Amino acid sequence: MSQKLIRLRVIGISYSQTQSGAYALILGEESGERRIPIIIGGFEAQAIVIKLENLEPPRPLTHDLFKSFADACGVTVEHIIINKLREGIFYSQIVCSGGIKDFIIDSRTSDAVALALRFGCPIYIVPSIIEEAGIIMTSSGSEEGAETQHYPESMIADPVGATEYEDYTDDELREMLNDAVNREDYEQAAAIRDEMDRRNKKV
């Protein structure tokens, strides 16, 4: 690819205010201020959140199974590239190596990011895409960039989870976290983990 790719990092997951029942995956430049909000489904959001929160599901999810299968076959994901944006939909490629040769797999961006987190590999984007869809949060809290009317500030700023668990004791939170993971309610587990992390930062 002739363009110099821009490396991204995962900032978090937010509830989508544009589509009911959907979520926004927020990616940001590693060496810049632009952010990319990508609307994804609940299952994909769950797969990303459990890795961001370092949760251990009682059973492997689809992306965990892919990782185990790839490991067993000697295949690794080197990096992913968000390489297309068409009619508001982001497309990605998973760049793999299998010992004998390298190969590329087309993928939904949500699946590609979920795998990148599991393989610990870089996430890149084509510069023209971030120039078209990137958002910059200004000091006044307003947004600059393409299609900003679709992504209000609250969707960008508010992470998954709130402080609804602040009245519980640490022991109660640990018990609730274990219960949520066992029930495979990773959204609740992530919210509880956020509250535990918030308390640890105050110590």
CA dihedral 53→54→58→61, nearest 10 degrees, is: 80
What is the DSSP secondary structure assignment for residue 148, as one 8-state letter?
Answer: G
Average pLDDT in the 103-125 region? 95
Confidence band (pLDDT; 50, 70, 90) for 116? very high
Query: Cα separation of 35 and 146, whole Å?
Result: 11
Q: Is the dihedral of CA 104, 110, 116, 118 positive or negative?
A: negative
The set of residues, in sequence order, having a beta carbon less than 8 Å from that of 136 and lying 6+ positions away, is 33, 34, 35, 143, 144, 145
Distance CA 28, CA 7 (A): 9
pLDDT classification of 112: cutoffs 50, 70, 90: very high
Domain 6-160 has CATH 3.30.70.20: no
Amino acid letter for position 98: G
pLDDT in tens, 37-92: 898 888 888 888 888 888 777 778 889 999 999 999 999 999 999 999 998 899 99
Question: Do residues 190 and 180 touch, judged by C-beta distance below 8 A?
Answer: no
- Residues 16-32: pLDDT tens digits? 666 666 788 999 999 88
Whole-model pTM over 0.75:
no
In this structure, the number of other CB atoms found within 10 A of the CB of residue 128 comes to 12
Any bridge partners for residue 7, and if so which?
Answer: 124
Which tops the pLDDT comparison, 160 or 186? 186
Give 82-138 as a DSSP string: EEEEETTEEEEEEEEE-SS-EEEEEEEHHHHHHHHHHHT--EEE-HHHHHHH-EEE-
Q: What percent of the chain has pLDDT over 90?
A: 36
Tell me how long the chain is: 203
**Where do you find CATH 3.10.690.10 in the chain?**
6-160
Cα gap 107→139, rounded to integer Å: 35
